[in-house]
Structures are given as C-alpha cells and as structure tokens.
C-alpha cells in the first residue's frame, strides 16, 4: 500500500474512533497499534510497553501537574479578587476604561496559572458582574474576556508549551522565554482594539463613576504584591537560571499555598479540592501524551513522517504557502478538538514537515500556540466559550460573535510573527548569548 493510502487509512481510523466518542488517548493508541501491526514488521507489544514506560516517568513532564495545581490554588483563593481591585484605579481613565481590567487581569493571571480555562473562569467571575453593573457593552465585556483568556496558553508558564516541549523534545525553558514577546504583542493588540473602539464611539463607554488620587492608586496596588511575588518567584527563577521549569513549578505551588493561606481565604477543604481538580486534569493530559508518544513511535516505524517530509520537500512549497495551509488546517481542526489534543495529534506528522522546509521548531511552537488559541474561541468546541457560557448563561453563539474581533486580532498576531519571526526568537537567542 502506498504512503498516501496508509496515511488516509490511519486518519480514517482515528476520525471514526473520535466520532464514536472513544477517549483521545485510547484513540491515539489504537491508531498507533494499527500502524504497527498492519504497516510495519516491528514487535508491537514490546514497543507499547517500552514507550508507555519510558514516557510515564519524564522529569520534565512533572512541571505540568505542578503548574496546574498552582493555578487551582489561586482559583480558590482571594488573590484573584485582590488582583482585580488593584487594577481598577489605574485603568479607570484609560481609553476603554475598565474593559482593560479583563485584558490585563487575564494577562497577569495567565502568568501564574498557565491555563486558558482557569483564566477565563477566574477573571470572568469577578469582572462580568462588575462591568455589567457599570453599564459596559455586553459584546466588549464578553469579547475582551474570551480573547484575553487565551493568553493563558501563551504567556509562561504555559501548560500547552510544556505539552509541546515534551511532545517535540524542545527546551521548555526556551519555549517559555520565546512566549514573552508574542504575549506582550497580543496584549497590546487587544488593548489597542478596545482603545480604538472607545475613541471611535465615546458613548460606548460609560463615564467615570469616581476619580482616584495617586495615593489611592498606590494603596490599591498593595493588593497586587502577592501576585507580583508569585510571578517573580516562578518566572524569575527560570529566566535567572536558578531553577528548571520543574523546580520553578514546585516553587510556585509552595508560594501560591503560602500566599493563599496568608490572605485568610484558604482552608484545608479548598486545598483538597484544588489537589483533586489538578489530579483529574493532569491524568487526562498525561494519558493523551502517552497515546501521542506511542503514535509518534509507531509512525516512525511505518516511515510515514520521513516519507511525508520528503514528499513536502519534493513539492518545493514555499514557507509562506506551507504556513498558510497549516494555519487553515489548525483553525479547522481546532473547531472540533481541544487545544492539547490538536498539539499531540499533529506534532509527530507536522514537525518533520516544517523542519524539512527550514522552519525553527522553537518558533513553530509559539506559532502553533497562537493558532490553537483561536480554537479556544471558535465554535463548536471553543472551550473558553463554554466556560463563559457557564458563568453568564448567555447563548454560546452570542459569545462567539463577541469574540470574533479577537479571533481576527489573533490572526493578525500570527501574521506579525510570520513577517517578523524575531518577535519569537529574539529573547531565546539573547539568553543563549
């Protein structure tokens, strides 16, 4: 059987399994087993055993449940409310006023949670009732929340960057460093859009209900100190070369727990709930990664990735043409699968293709995360849309419509890093030198 027919057969098996509701991890493993048994001469049983065992005790992967636990602890403490209260005085006179609380609040929480869903739930629980009460337009409340919550996927420590790093063998510390400037770029695009809307239609934004003196702003800023300490402890230890991402994740859990206890809003019951929720999420991701690892090894034995990369190389596709095709592919795929599944389903096939045309896998990781961010706000499986619907009870199509301008801004972000790849590579290269 030819390579295209093998690829189509395996793809058909995968689509059938997913359509039947089989778990993603199990589906990936079955497809890998089919590839080994029918399209290679490799000993499938031995490969399953060695792959599962070899990938189940990865020290790098230990950072994943720790960062998830850190986010769950913050989600249940008063620190998130303090962050909102500390930002309001500084943003009350900005163009768009308190809508920027969604953007900057999500950016700050993304830097300590690493999860898009946790960011949407935490910031939305505080901001949506408050902004609605103050008369801000629903479309911008929902749009800024849905769009900015996707920053949880990109701004380090990012769970999805850890997944990509584990799946592709890239340095997680370098991926984290590379995500900083693209994250700041997206924050600027979102804030600029809100400011532009406020400037074009001043009546859209309600008037200031009160003014804050400089002293009041400083006093309110004290509420941001715990979050700043946490960000500084986690990110600073990585960028300063003092700790690996796994060590920094452990430090983050300790700091988050101590700060949550110090705030007086934490208890043993809440800590237990955070541990259980983090355990469920971590097990789900770990199972998917094991299935993806087995599929990747299986594809190696069938020779598909190598042959596909050679086929792409023979087509002489330009880098631009390949990236346009991949962007459309990932957006469509993200309409039906969650972001982690998109990453692990595709990396074993896509990475040989992109390296064959000379694309840096480090740059590609950040490109991929931004494209996958779009899938968080596209129906029918835009996870941020479901989170916000659960918070507000608003129809998911109305939320998707409100988020559409931010989908376009994310697309603009992809275009900018394609035209100016130094946005991604500058800091890692600087740190290397």
Which tens digits make up the pLDDT trace of 310-336?
A: 666 667 778 888 888 888 888 877 766
Specify if 29 maps to a domain.
Answer: no
Q: Is the pLDDT of residue 412 over 90?
A: yes
Compute the distance between CA of residue 60 and CA of residue 247 in angstroms, rounded to an integer.
10
Specify if 38 maps to a domain.
Answer: no
- Least confidently predicted of 84-93, 148-157, 393-402: 84-93
Q: Is residue 421 very low, low, confident or very high in pLDDT (cuts 50, 70, 90)? A: very high
pLDDT on residue 201: 85
How high is the mean pLDDT of the chain?
A: 81
pLDDT on residue 411: 92
Structural element, H or E, at residue 260:
helix 245-262
Specify if 34 maps to a domain.
Answer: no
pLDDT on residue 306: 63
Mean pLDDT of 298-319: 70
Q: Is residue 422 very low, low, confident or very high in pLDDT (cuts 50, 70, 90)? A: very high
Specify if 270 maps to a domain.
Answer: yes
Specify if 345 maps to a domain.
Answer: yes
Output DSSP code: residue 206: P
Q: Is the pLDDT of residue 419 over 80?
A: yes
Domain holding 256, by residue range, is: 59-432
Specify if 76 maps to a domain.
Answer: yes
Task: For the chain, give the longest Cα–Cα distance.
Answer: 75
DSSP secondary structure of 239-305: HTTSS-HHHHHHHHHHHHHHHHHHTT---HHHHHHHHHHHHHHHHHHHHHHHHHHHHHHHHHHHTHH
Mean pLDDT of 104-126: 75
Q: Is the pLDDT of residue 207 over 80?
A: no
Q: Is the pLDDT of residue 49 over 80?
A: yes
Which tens digits make up the pLDDT trace of 242-253?
A: 877 778 888 888
pLDDT on residue 287: 79
Specify if 26 maps to a domain.
Answer: no
Specify if 22 maps to a domain.
Answer: no
pLDDT on residue 413: 93
CB 66 within 8 A of CB 253: yes
Q: Is the pLDDT of residue 80 over 70?
A: no
Question: Count of domains in the chain?
Answer: 1
Which tens digits make up the pLDDT trace of 332-359?
A: 777 666 677 778 777 777 888 788 788 8
Q: Is residue 182 very low, low, confident or very high in pLDDT (cuts 50, 70, 90)? A: very high
Question: CA angle, 184 as apex, 181 and 185 as ends, to 5°?
Answer: 85
Q: Is residue 69 very low, low, confident or very high in pLDDT (cuts 50, 70, 90)? A: confident
């Amino acid at each position: 059987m030819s390579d295209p027919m093998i690829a189509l057969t395996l793809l058909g098996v995968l689509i059938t399994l997913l359509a039947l509701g089989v778990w993603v991890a199990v589906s990936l493993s079955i497809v890998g087993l089919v590839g080994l048994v029918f399209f290679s001469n490799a000993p499938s049983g031995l490969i399953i055993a060695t792959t599962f065992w070899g990938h189940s005790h990865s020290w790098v992967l230990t950072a994943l449940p720790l960062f998830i636990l850190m986010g769950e602890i913050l989600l249940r403490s008063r620190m998130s409310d303090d962050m909102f209260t500390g930002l309001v005085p500084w943003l009350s006179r900005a163009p768009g006023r308190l809508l920027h609380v969604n953007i900057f609040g999500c950016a700050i929480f993304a830097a300590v949670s690493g999860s898009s869903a946790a960011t949407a739930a935490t910031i939305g629980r505080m901001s949506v009732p408050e902004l609605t009460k103050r008369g801000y337009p629903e479309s911008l409340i929902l749009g800024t929340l849905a769009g900015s919550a996707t920053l949880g996927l990109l701004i380090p420590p990012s769970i999805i960057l850890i997944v990509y790093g584990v799946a592709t063998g890239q340095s997680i510390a370098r991926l984290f460093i590379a995500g900083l400037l693209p994250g700041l770029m997206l924050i600027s695009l979102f804030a600029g859009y809100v400011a532009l809307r406020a400037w074009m239609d001043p009546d859209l934004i309600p008037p200031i209900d009160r003014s804050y003196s400089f002293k009041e702003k400083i006093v309110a800023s004290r509420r941001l100190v715990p979050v700043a300490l946490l960000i500084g402890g986690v990110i600073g230890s990585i960028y300063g070369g003092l700790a690996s991402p796994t060590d920094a994740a452990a430090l983050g859990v300790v700091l988050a727990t101590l700060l949550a206890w110090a705030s007086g809003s934490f208890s043993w019951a809440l800590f237990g709930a955070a541990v259980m929720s983090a355990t469920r999420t971590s097990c789900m991701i770990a199972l998917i990664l094991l299935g993806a690892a087995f599929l990747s090894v299986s594809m190696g034995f069938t020779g598909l990735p190598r042959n596909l990369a050679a086929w792409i190389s023979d087509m002489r596709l330009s880098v631009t043409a390949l990236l346009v095709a991949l962007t459309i592919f990932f957006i469509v795929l993200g309409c039906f699968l969650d972001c982690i599944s998109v990453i692990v389903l595709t990396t074993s096939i896509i990475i040989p293709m992109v390296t064959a045309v000379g694309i840096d896998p480090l740059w590609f990781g950040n490109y991929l995360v931004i494209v996958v961010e779009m899938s968080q706000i596209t129906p029918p499986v835009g996870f941020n849309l479901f989170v916000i619907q659960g918070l507000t009870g608003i129809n998911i199509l109305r939320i998707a419509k409100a988020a559409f301008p931010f989908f376009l801004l994310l697309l603009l972000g992809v275009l900018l890093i394609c035209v100016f790849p130094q946005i991604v590579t500058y800091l890692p290269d600087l740190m290397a030198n």
